[in-house]
Chains A and B, each alone.
Chain A
Amino acid sequence: MDRTNIKKWLKTPDKMSQKYSLWAVYFCTGCGIIEIPPVITSRWDAERFGVIPVATPRQANLFLITGYVSLKTLKAIIRTYELMPDPKYTVGFGSCPINGGMYWDSYNTIKHLDKYIPVDGWIAGCMPRPEAIFIAVTHLWTMIDKEMATGYKRYKENYEYYRHNQERLFGKLEWPPLYPINEEKTEGEGN
């Protein structure tokens, strides 16, 4: 622990402890997942930055989406995201979740991930180097400090819209809404 930060620790212990222990869901999508095993093991050792992968989303608060997202994967991503406890942070990894990347005209790959779940930060590149993950993690620290990483709050506030966007792709989802939905607020223009 850095002694110069002791004031900060005493002032906001919750924030400080959140930011130095990020638990990542070990969720594999697309080609970017190839970068994750060297990052979490001895070569780059993500534990220096407090990032450890865990098996279940119930114990995690960092969600790395590591590549293109097909419709089937998006369904799993939404479920995983909703299972994670607050506060939770999402980072899109690689260019595909940002705007589709090389799958920009694919029939089965979604183009903008942030239409369906909130994303706190992006790592651009195809593929990003493992070091880019650490830059993202340190960015996330400052964002947590300044209370800018508010994806989970945005999800709660605008849940109607997110759920509506999700249902435009899948039809009716088979799980109940995470937060109560005010029916009058959404416009009835389903797909």
Chain B
Amino acid sequence: MRKKQKVKGIKMEKLKDEIASIFKEIKVNIAQDTKLIISAKKEQVLNLLRFLKDKGYNHLALISCVDWIEEKEFELVYILGSYLEKGGKGHIILKTRIHRKKPKFKTIIPIFENAEPYEREIHELFGVDFEGHPRLTHLFLERDYKIPPFRKDFDTREYVKEVFEKIPFVEDKK
């Protein structure tokens, strides 16, 4: 059994009330005592991140992307942690939705510098453009894909049939 530890630093309830009072039209939930889940509009994200960084959440752990194909939206998920005492032991999950058709979002490199590879990765695998990013080039992949491969409408089996299966064995060519 895990012992319940006394959480130093900022309390989640307090932070939740504070965010709800400053930012309008925002959904804040507390999950498992130390997790704060915020769903915000895309215009609020940069301000929210700045606010949370000032509050002690100075570590961007991950940016990920979810493809909600039926709702025609991408969901960007920012996960923040803290190395400072005033940030406490919790972490914050910040979600925002952007359009799927021409996915665009602003880069958060001015706030968290280590967002650079994450944004490149999302650009490569989901096709989201981050405005203001210094170099949106390939990070892992060697080939160009018509549809970015992590989107739900990318058919991997068809792609394998078209590209890998069509290459002949050398013994057959002779």
A→B interface (CB under 8 Å)? 71-72, 75, 104-108, 110-112, 114-115, 118, 154, 158, 161-162, 165, 168-170, 191
Contact = CB atoms under 8 A, between A and B. Distances in A.
Contacts, number: 57
Contact of A169 (B143, B154, B156, B169): B143
B157 A105 contact: yes
B173 interface: yes
B164 A111 contact: yes
15 contacts: A71-B141, A75-B142, A107-B154, A110-B164, A111-B165, A114-B169, A114-B170, A115-B167, A115-B168, A161-B173, A168-B167, A169-B142, A169-B143, A169-B163, A191-B163
A104 B165 CA distance: 11
Contact of A107 (B160, B167, B169, B170): B160
Nearest to A168: B167
A152 B147 CA distance: 38
B160 A111 contact: yes
**Which secondary structure dominates where chain B touches chain A?**
loop
B169 A115 contact: yes
Interface in B75-133: none
Q: How many interface residues does chain B have, given as a range?
A: 20 to 34
B71 to A, nearest CB: 24
9 closest residue pairs by CB, A with B: A71-B142, A107-B149, A161-B170, A105-B156, A111-B164, A105-B157, A161-B173, A107-B156, A158-B170
Contacts of B68: none
Contacts of B156: 105-107
Nearest to B157: A105
B23 interface: no
Interface in B38-86: none
Nearest to B169: A115
A117 B173 CA distance: 15
Nearest to B144: A171
Nearest to A116: B167
Contact of A158 (B154, B167, B174): B174
Nearest to A159: B170
Nearest to A75: B142
Given A105-B160, A111-B160, A111-B164, A165 B170 contact: yes
B126 to A, nearest CB: 13
Contacts of A108: 140-143, 149
B162 to A, nearest CB: 10
